[in-house]
C-alpha cells in the first residue's frame, strides 16, 4: 500500500497540447508583422508553422526574417515579446477536467512548471484550471538555474501542498528533465506520453532519467494509481 497523498503535474503537453500555444503565438506575431511591415498575416503564420513542423526550434524568427530579407536585429526581440505577451487561446486535453475533479477527492493536487513567468501564468489562466489545483509553483527566468531536472520546484510544490516528497507523484512528459527531477526529490515520477506531445518520440538517455510508470492519458494515470496502492489524505 502506498502513502501517496498528493499529485503534482507538469503543464505543457501534460494538461494541454503545447503546440496549441506555439500556433497561437505565431498567429499573434503574424498579426504584428502585418501591421509593422505589411506582409499578409495568414501567409506569415503558415510560414512560421512550417518551420516549427519541420523541427525548427529556438531560431524560428531568425530564419523567417532572413527568408524575407528583413533585419534580424531590428525585429527578432520585438517578435519574441509579442509571442510571449499574447493572450493565448488554449483548451485543456478533454480528459483533464473530469480526471482532476475525480482525483482531487482523494489527492491534493498541484502544478510545477517553469518558463517566462508571465507566459506560464497566461497559459494557466487561459486553461481555467486554477480552481482544480490547490497549489501552483511557477519558476521564472530568474530561477533558471533551479529549473528541472533540479529537484527544487518539486520540493517547493510538496512543501506548499503540505506533504513529504515521498508522498507525492509527479506527472510530466519530458524524459530529459521531469523524472530525474522527481527522482532527485524523492518522488514517484509518471510519464504521460500524449500522442501529439512534442517529446512523445523521445526516450530517456540514462536509467535515472526514466519514469517509474508510463500512461497515455489521465484515466490511465488513475488506473495506474489504483493498481499500485491506496492513497490517504
Residues 51 and 100 in one domain: no
Give the number of other CB atoms < 10 A from CB of residue 25.
22
Domain, as residue range, for 79: 19-85
Residues 209 and 98 in one domain: yes
What parts of the chain have a pLDDT lower than 70? 1-2, 230-233
Domain final residue pick, 85, 108, 124 = 85
Give the number of other CB atoms < 10 A from CB of residue 202.
14
The total number of structural domains that make up the chain: 2
Residues 87/124, Cβ–Cβ less than 8 Å: no
- At residue 141, the pLDDT reads 86
Q: Which residues touch 87 (CB under 8 Å, ≥6 apart)?
A: 122, 126
- At residue 3, the pLDDT reads 85
Residues 206 and 97 in one domain: yes
Give the number of other CB atoms < 10 A from CB of residue 156.
19
- pTM of the complete model beyond 0.75: yes
- At residue 194, the pLDDT reads 97
Instruction: Report the alpha-carbon distance of residue 87 to residue 143 in Å, rounded.
Output: 23
Please indicate, yes or no, if residue 233 is contained in any of the structural domains.
no
Residues 62 and 116 in one domain: no
- At residue 172, the pLDDT reads 98
- At residue 1, the pLDDT reads 44
**SS3 label, residue 219:** helix
- At residue 230, the pLDDT reads 55
Residues 150 and 218 in one domain: yes
Residues 80 and 157 in one domain: no
Residues 139 and 210 in one domain: yes
Please indicate, yes or no, if residue 154 is contained in any of the structural domains.
yes
Any alpha helices (H) in 114-210, and if so which ranges?
117-127, 152-161, 178-185
Amino acid at each position: 500500500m502506498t502513502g501517496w497523498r498528493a499529485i503534482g503535474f507538469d503543464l505543457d503537453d501534460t494538461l494541454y497540447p503545447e503546440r496549441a500555444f506555439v500556433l497561437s503565438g505565431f498567429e499573434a506575431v503574424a498579426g504584428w508583422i502585418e501591421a509593422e511591415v505589411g506582409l499578409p498575416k495568414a501567409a506569415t503564420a503558415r510560414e512560421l508553422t512550417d518551420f516549427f513542423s519541420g523541427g525548427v526550434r529556438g531560431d524560428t524568427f531568425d530564419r523567417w526574417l532572413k527568408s524575407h530579407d528583413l533585419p534580424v536585429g531590428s525585429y527578432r526581440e520585438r517578435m519574441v515579446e509579442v509571442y510571449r505577451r499574447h493572450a493565448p487561446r488554449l483548451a485543456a486535453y478533454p480528459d483533464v477536467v473530469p480526471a482532476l475533479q475525480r482525483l482531487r477527492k482523494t489527492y491534493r493536487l498541484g502544478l510545477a512548471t517553469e518558463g517566462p513567468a508571465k507566459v506560464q501564468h497566461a497559459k494557466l489562466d487561459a486553461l481555467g484550471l486554477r480552481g482544480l489545483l490547490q497549489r501552483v509553483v511557477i519558476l521564472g527566468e530568474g530561477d533558471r538555474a533551479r529549473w528541472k531536472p533540479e529537484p527544487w520546484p518539486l520540493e517547493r510544490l510538496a512543501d506548499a501542498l503540505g506533504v513529504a516528497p515521498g508522498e507525492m507523484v509527479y506527472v510530466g512528459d519530458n524524459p530529459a528533465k521531469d523524472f530525474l527531477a522527481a527522482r532527485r526529490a524523492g518522488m514517484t515520477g509518471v510519464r504521460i506520453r500524449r500522442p501529439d506531445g512534442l517529446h512523445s518520440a523521445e526516450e530517456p538517455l540514462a536509467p535515472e532519467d526514466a519514469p517509474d510508470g508510463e500512461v497515455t492519458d489521465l484515466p490511465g494515470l488513475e488506473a495506474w494509481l489504483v493498481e499500485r496502492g491506496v492513497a490517504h489524505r
